[in-house]
Structure 1
């Protein structure tokens, strides 16, 4: 793995992979800019008092130190549950590594080719660690198996040789967070901070390797494979360089946990059918797989806990036709309908994991009728209604000013050929606010 990362050259990467990297980068930059506009993110930036530096706070209007940019951009990226993910990795490979790589690339003023290679390395290494790791029950995937991806990307930017890259990856595997999934469902923002920790830990591990202090001793097997769960080491190098996991991910059109998306998509489909009456809904049955069956809380307290509540997502989709960053949290009708949403595991849907993350939704009405719809995966999944570039850009433009989306799209499209990336990355500090209508 260390040799593959050190020798990765975008000149030999298939065009389709680079096209997908451009889309993932568009998504990551756009969603980070959107998260930067949140009042709580602005408050965090103010409290951080980060010194001026070479790296952008994407959408935050400031240039700060590398480590501060990596941490704060990572938190902004995941604050609205809109960032790209990967069902086979069981989490978010890009979110673990991209903020660190982009911040370091801005500091180094790296070439576009090196930056693209580093982003790909970060994604592919993180995704393989995600595939390889089975976390203990109750563990949240943020900040654990993905840290080696951040280290791999940063090590590639620093131009480290294979042995040092390997040491950076193994060191990073010993710097993971042991976070509980209930922190997300209870609305504790520490869950977002786990990605900030991933970014800065990846930077630290790569720097330790550059200084000759990092060693490869099997830390990954101890930390991920003994303390946090189990590790199938064979997955780490499986089809490395021939299977590009970045092409197998998903983009999100709902501001909520990906486990809620199939149910939201099913409800939106039912809304378009004759016989659907918002005012006549008596109850909703949501059948899902075992991974999503626990998101049943109907007493959300903030946006984070709401985004991990299938009843909130289903009720919001049914009543308003969307689940977005500005969906109301305290609407009485949403809460009333959410209390009538029942979430259960369906063994037949669990049996279809991991290739499908399916949901089956039945909406019952006061006239005795009902409507049912099943979806195999969310819209936006690479295996089910994948989003094209124009579709993804159009989705982001519903939340962001067009110039912000255009800059992100141009960066993704032009990145491999840029002589240097510092100036282009610093332009991303432009505000992510959308002008009022």
Structure 2
């Protein structure tokens, strides 16, 4: 296993070191700015939360060249990697990838952008590094099957941050592979229960991933890193199982960044298909008293069945909360998971009548689909059923455009200049002569 992991990591490192932005296929070149726009928007929205502002004050970050996106200041590379990483995921709005079973972009973009600002790297180099971060993380996500109960934040994705930062530093193939391997030796042993319990350590796992990836790249730049097939021991021994061949399957021809999804609900992606189905049923159920809502889903989403919650995070990981909110309010935005809406008696009461069950026929459709089937039974004896194959926003099911993302982010961030600046930065970055000033403009709220 470790020998195969060593060889595959070496091949992946050589590919990453040789990648040139101008040689990337046009559909991929078009997709990266859209993913970057989404990630920057999620980060800026997270930065506005009172708890994120309190964290920044308690952290007391050192001044530096890297912006806290929407956070009102520029700080050191290390602090930006940590704090932007946390802000990106704390509202559950950032881009994800069903084949990687997690969030490749969030694992590495904060570290790459912070380092790019420090280096004032040119746009093509920065874009290539971001793409490398995504593709490497996604491939490690495909290769890793975590043990039951494990959460994907902070484990396989450290390799993406390491690869992206190493590519940005201009390291050769062997050194990039060493950085990736070192990142594979720095995973977090994260348990899904922390998210269900509403423990914000779940968000910190993403800050740790970005910071650890940055450290791995710097170790490789110093000549202190080696490729020894570490993933075979950590991801494949301690945390789950690992298939090294997935690291290099269709390398250079399949681009996972084109296969991801954007999110319109501020909640775990496993809850989205059920919320979408309820929103489709909602008009026909106006004025009808609901007896029960059955959500049939796949096994990945089975654990999100709690009907009690005590903070934002635990609510965002409760399918009953999300379904009840969608049914009663017509949307699941960030405002739904803060008091007093968080404890709205009407939402709490309906959520108590939401039941979650695994359906074998839906489970069999993974990973190409993440389906849900919702059955609403009303007190007059009627049954209303709707099934969706994937959440809205998946590239395979009502994909969101730049205009859609702009609308969503304007709703989150208001009518100020920040949404436009985020879109402008994401669009201009790949061709910029230097990215420091461009990124620096994003610090302003």
Structure 1 and Structure 2 fold alike (TM over 0.5): yes
Q: Partner of 2:52 in structure 1?
A: 41
The one-character-per-residue Cα deviations of 1:181-214 (angstroms, maximum 9, x if unpaired) are 0000000000000000000000000000000000
Q: Partner of 1:202 in structure 2?
A: 213
Q: Partner of 1:379 in structure 2?
A: 392
TM-score normalized by the length of structure 1: 0.97
Corresponding residue to 2:354 among 321, 341, 345: 341
Contact 2:375 2:386 in 1 (8 A): yes
Q: Which runs of 4+ in 1 moved over 6 A?
A: none
Q: Partner of 2:71 in structure 1?
A: 60
- The CA RMSD over aligned residues, in Å, is 0.8
Residues 1:267 and 2:278 are matched in the alignment: yes
The one-character-per-residue Cα deviations of 1:85-135 (angstroms, maximum 9, x if unpaired) are 000000000000000001100111000000000000000000000000000
Contact 2:429 2:438 in 1 (8 A): no
Alignment of 1:283-322 (within 5 A): 283-322=292-331
The one-character-per-residue Cα deviations of 1:348-398 (angstroms, maximum 9, x if unpaired) are 000111111000001111211121100000000011110111111111111
The one-character-per-residue Cα deviations of 1:288-313 (angstroms, maximum 9, x if unpaired) are 01110111101101010000000000
Q: Distance in 2 between matches of 1:225 and 1:367?
A: 52
Q: Partner of 1:211 in structure 2?
A: 222
What SS class does the counterpart of residue 196 from structure 1 fall into?
helix
Contact 1:278 1:319 in 2 (8 A): no
Q: Distance in 2 between matches of 1:427 and 1:401?
A: 18
Contact 1:361 1:373 in 2 (8 A): yes
Q: Partner of 1:108 in structure 2?
A: 119
In structure 1, list runs of 5 or more residues that go unmatched.
432-437
Q: Partner of 2:40 in structure 1?
A: 29
What SS class does the counterpart of residue 380 from structure 1 fall into?
coil
Corresponding residue to 2:22 among 5, 11, 14: 11
Contact 2:187 2:209 in 1 (8 A): yes
Contact 2:13 2:174 in 1 (8 A): yes
Q: Distance in 2 between matches of 1:53 and 1:112?
A: 20
Contact 1:2 1:166 in 2 (8 A): yes
In structure 2, list runs of 5 or more residues that go unmatched.
1-11
TM-score normalized by the length of structure 2: 0.95
- Number of aligned residues: 429
Q: Partner of 1:363 in structure 2?
A: 376
Contact 1:253 1:380 in 2 (8 A): yes
Q: Structure 1's 408 and 369: CA in aligned 2 closer, same or farther, altered over 3 A?
A: same
Contact 1:35 1:41 in 2 (8 A): yes
More helix by share: 2
Question: Alpha-carbon deviation of 1:414?
Answer: 1.4
What SS class does the counterpart of residue 125 from structure 2 fall into?
helix
Q: Partner of 1:172 in structure 2?
A: 183
Residues 1:70 and 2:107 are matched in the alignment: no
Question: Alpha-carbon deviation of 1:179?
Answer: 0.5
